Chain A
């Protein structure tokens, strides 16, 4: 059922299944025993499946939708999921989500977390958004409007938006990382 090729997930190799239809999301949830990454639509519309992958830009990890990604596309590359987000006990953003009540049911939460980490890196690199006033600056300041705009691909039906945005703002806004 599996091959001798693999994807590195949170530092560990995960063998690729021999079925090329398996999405990266299903690889994580059904094959790697890492169901922390959630499936809200399987169609690229909700952001629940967001994970971080090794970047081509300055070493930053980039956010992708794992449901729209075939696992085989990431052969030999590194993926970070919510389970691997923290260096130590909790990532500062995870702590901030608890402090600011950035979730209710928790189903969108892993996607929000990974998305925010990738989003903050994008802002640091100066990637503009629809609401960026000055697109020439090398780093975009993460105002509330920027965070709301850039996180809009991550739906939350419970309506925990305020806590999510507050947690992201305290973790990243003005902090330079």
Chain B
């Protein structure tokens, strides 16, 4: 294979994953697989009422069951502070801010009311069945209609109310020549990473060592320290391999309970949730109800966009589904009213799932655009191009790098969009109606403060790079090695990477599609520091170095060494510089500079999705044999893993479109389909051909010119499929998922 492994081309190349061998040989150790002597296994007892008090909790039979070491309930659990919640506290990792097992209160159906530890999983599971709680149930809000009736309020995202108003959109809508105005709904969904949440936990004196499956190592460490009254350096969280996250792998009660139980028994504990346990204790994407109204002129230009959303949350969390966030970035319009409200339910706290906000929001917005295109008699691609903004709508901020139109055109070309019939129900092949749909996508660029990295220059031109980053399958380890190899101009094989541990530098969440930008900025900063130090020590005046007198600003890297910017022949390998400095290795650790690019510029990833949709005339079954995703996400740093991120997002979008729904029993508040046989995911037979292409145009304002790519893939897919369904059979489905009963 001609994949470059060094030189300037190493960035962007389809470099194979660093962790390939350990993953295909089964030697990668996930959190539930860390061996420990004297291990105890945890089993959880879940409440069966949505709200109330525990009135009885008979644990005698469980305690006397063979192999049982502990039955922990609110009666004997050690005191624990409430965990800091994500988005409510700068280092909060927890899905909610409820104290864990502190009192007899039940706040959702499925809450853990007892934890059993035994010497085998079988014995723990059996004993958990013997715990018999009884409850004094209290009235709970467990239906969407009851939640709305109780009252709604404006939702906030990181403390910012989700309100954006520009002009008088309501007046413009009533005055518009052509308009659409519809309601769209999206259901609860579960991240369903293939690895169920799991941790292996051990106390070493007063130090808590946690092998977890988290995508937030640093925040989980700080949050656990807060819960147990420890200094942050008394908690170490290690998560080198995470079997998928998709937003679901923050801090949830199972880990706090495992740590508490381990402390009580002074033995290591493994808490590996059952699949049902994941549904009971971990929150997924919440349901939304959205109104999109668009008023347009006869030529298709938008005068008004009204996008309002209402979604379910709980009293104990601060993670809304910001469904309007893409709307203000995609299209020019004379006026906007964008608002998101929330209603409260008594369920497990909802949490993020891939492209929170944008994924459900784009279903509503991009369906409405398609409906409007139909009303206007304008091709849906053309309609979108006609409303391409010059600057960010509403704010007027300049775009840093926006090539959405190029991406849209390239996607339409690749898909063969021009062959589509503008009239629905025009093409039939045997039993199947055939149609095509499209949708636009966007996802904001984010770079959270806190990124940092440590670089270690070693003999032989070897470089180590260390950062508290996460590898859940995105290719983080691989791209971090590429970034470092490129910076130092050394071969990929000379770079070693350490990640997935809270003792490493930085707070680098695998969230918001921001990890790579954060790492790139941190590596650049640390590299500059290291080169400066190396020159000061090894190329001082009088040392005879060809680089004598140089600073980090006057050198470049080349061929495993440094050279003068103004004279590339004046070059010296790293080993020679280290030797002159009398060093065997040199370290530098630096934080990334604050993300100033985010304030000054409107920075987004963009995409266009095209789907071929087939609907069976007899059964209503929907098949999607072909999807094209065309993206404009800045510079692509690894063509292979990037394609995987785009495709993976698109496939999750396919699930969102056609099958995914977490169903809550309105009578009890209990999730009714907590399994992979009843919650359907796309399987191999559902996944057709998915072609992904990208502009690859670097953004001059972002680290390495890159934008985020982890979430944009899912955005727009459900709308593209729904629009394709309409084109195939003339039925507009505004309520996800598009199951066959809605088409018969």
A binds B: yes
Q: Check if A107 sits within 8 Å of B195, measured CB to CB.
A: yes
Which single member of A38, A105, A113, A147 contacts B473 (CB below 8 Å)? A105
Which of B16, B19, B24 has most chain A Cβ within 10 Å? B24
Residue ID in chain A nearest B687 by CB atoms: A161
Residue ID in chain B nearest A20 by CB atoms: B122
Bound complex: CA of A104 vs CA of B649, how far in Å? 12
**Contact residues of B between 1 and 26, Cβ < 8 Å to A:** 16-17, 19-26
Question: Chain A: interface secondary structure?
Answer: loop
**B246 at the A interface (CB under 8 A):** yes
Query: Which residues of the other chain, A, contact B301 by a CB distance below 8 angstroms?
Result: none
Q: Check if A94 sits within 8 Å of B25, measured CB to CB.
A: yes
> Given that A106-B28, A159-B647 are contacting pairs, would A45 and B676 also be in contact in the complex, using a CB cutoff of 8 Å?
yes
Residue ID in chain B nearest A102 by CB atoms: B24
Query: Which residues of the other chain, A, contact B246 by a CB distance below 8 angstroms?
Result: 157
Q: Which of B344-352, B414-422, B556-564, B678-686 contacts A (4 or more CB under 8 A)?
A: B678-686
Residue ID in chain A nearest B198 by CB atoms: A39
Residue ID in chain A nearest B270 by CB atoms: A30
Q: Check if A104 sits within 8 Å of B20, measured CB to CB.
A: no
**B172 at the A interface (CB under 8 A):** no
Q: Which of A54-62, A82-90, A120-128, A134-142 contacts B (4 or more CB under 8 A)?
A: A82-90
Query: Which residues of the other chain, B, contact A148 by a CB distance below 8 angstroms?
Result: 684-685, 687
Bound complex: CA of A6 vs CA of B688, how far in Å? 43
**Contact residues of B between 467 and 506, Cβ < 8 Å to A:** 472-475
Residue ID in chain A nearest B688 by CB atoms: A148
Q: Check if A38 sits within 8 Å of B195, measured CB to CB.
A: yes
> Given that A38-B243, A158-B244 are contacting pairs, would A43 and B647 also be in contact in the complex, using a CB cutoff of 8 Å?
no
> Given that A106-B243, A149-B684 are contacting pairs, would A46 and B26 also be in contact in the complex, using a CB cutoff of 8 Å?
no
Bound complex: CA of A160 vs CA of B25, how far in Å? 17
Which of A86, A94, A164 has most chain B Cβ within 10 Å? A94
Which single member of A42, A48, A82, A107 contacts B25 (CB below 8 Å)? A82
A100 to chain B, nearest CB (A): 9
Residue ID in chain B nearest A33 by CB atoms: B35
Number of interface residues of B (CB under 8 A): 61
Query: Which residues of the other chain, A, contact B681 by a CB distance below 8 angstroms?
Result: 155, 157
> Given that A46-B194, A149-B684, A152-B683 are contacting pairs, would A105 and B243 also be in contact in the complex, using a CB cutoff of 8 Å?
yes
**B463 at the A interface (CB under 8 A):** no
**A35 at the B interface (CB under 8 A):** yes
A162 to chain B, nearest CB (A): 6
**Contact residues of B between 83 and 124, Cβ < 8 Å to A:** 120-123
Q: Check if A152 sits within 8 Å of B685, measured CB to CB.
A: yes
B122 to chain A, nearest CB (A): 5
Q: Check if A101 sits within 8 Å of B17, measured CB to CB.
A: yes
Task: Give per-residue flags for B110-144: 1 if the beta carbon is below 8 A from chain A beta carbons, else 0.
Answer: 00000000001111001000000000000000000
A to B contact number (C-beta, < 8 Å): 183
Task: Give per-residue flags for A90-112: 1 if the beta carbon is below 8 A from chain B beta carbons, else 0.
Answer: 10001001110101111111100
Q: Check if A21 sits within 8 Å of B122, measured CB to CB.
A: yes
Q: Check if B23 sits within 8 Å of A103, measured CB to CB.
A: yes
Interface size class of A (residues with CB under 8 A): 35 or more
Bound complex: CA of A30 vs CA of B40, how far in Å? 11
**A79 at the B interface (CB under 8 A):** no
> Given that A41-B675, A161-B687 are contacting pairs, would A113 and B24 also be in contact in the complex, using a CB cutoff of 8 Å?
yes
B590 to chain A, nearest CB (A): 30
Residue ID in chain B nearest A37 by CB atoms: B26
Which single member of B121, B126, B676 contacts A46 (CB below 8 Å)? B676
Which single member of A44, A98, A107, A165 contacts B244 (CB below 8 Å)? A107
> Given that A35-B29, A158-B648 are contacting pairs, would A40 and B196 also be in contact in the complex, using a CB cutoff of 8 Å?
yes
Residue ID in chain A nearest B713 by CB atoms: A159
**A163 at the B interface (CB under 8 A):** yes
> Given that A19-B120, A105-B244, A159-B648 are contacting pairs, would A97 and B676 also be in contact in the complex, using a CB cutoff of 8 Å?
no
**A171 at the B interface (CB under 8 A):** no
**B677 at the A interface (CB under 8 A):** yes
Residue ID in chain A nearest B14 by CB atoms: A101
Q: Check if A164 sits within 8 Å of B684, measured CB to CB.
A: yes
Q: Check if B27 sits within 8 Å of A83, measured CB to CB.
A: yes
Bound complex: CA of A98 vs CA of B643, how far in Å? 15
Bound complex: CA of A45 vs CA of B275, how far in Å? 10
Which single member of B21, B194, B274 contacts A157 (CB below 8 Å)? B194
Query: Which residues of the other chain, A, contact B643 by a CB distance below 8 angstroms?
Result: 101
Query: Which residues of the other chain, A, contact B20 by a CB distance below 8 angstroms?
Result: 97-98, 103
**B445 at the A interface (CB under 8 A):** no
> Given that A103-B473, A104-B473, A155-B681 are contacting pairs, would A36 and B25 also be in contact in the complex, using a CB cutoff of 8 Å?
yes
> Given that A104-B474, A113-B24 are contacting pairs, would A40 and B644 also be in contact in the complex, using a CB cutoff of 8 Å?
no
Bound complex: CA of A171 vs CA of B677, how far in Å? 30
Q: Check if B473 sits within 8 Å of A41, measured CB to CB.
A: no
**B651 at the A interface (CB under 8 A):** yes
> Given that A19-B122, A94-B24, A106-B241 are contacting pairs, would A38 and B194 also be in contact in the complex, using a CB cutoff of 8 Å?
yes
A51 to chain B, nearest CB (A): 11
Query: Which residues of the other chain, A, contact B242 by a CB distance below 8 angstroms?
Result: 105
Query: Which residues of the other chain, A, contact B148 by a CB distance below 8 angstroms?
Result: none
Q: Check if A157 sits within 8 Å of B684, measured CB to CB.
A: no
Q: Can you list 5 A-B pairs with a CB-CB distance of less than 8 A?
A: A40-B676, A147-B684, A152-B683, A152-B686, A157-B681
Residues of A near any B CB (own CB < 8 A)? 17, 19, 21-22, 26, 29-30, 33-46, 48, 81-83, 85-86, 90, 94, 97-99, 101, 103-110, 113, 147-149, 151-165
Known A90-B21, A105-B195, A159-B644; 19 more pairs at CB < 8 Å:
A26-B121, A37-B26, A40-B196, A43-B675, A94-B24, A97-B20, A97-B24, A101-B16, A103-B473, A104-B244, A104-B472, A106-B243, A108-B194, A109-B24, A109-B26, A156-B194, A158-B644, A159-B652, A160-B644
Which 9 residue pairs spanning A and B have beta carbons closest together? A36-B26, A104-B473, A159-B648, A107-B243, A106-B23, A105-B473, A159-B651, A82-B26, A35-B33
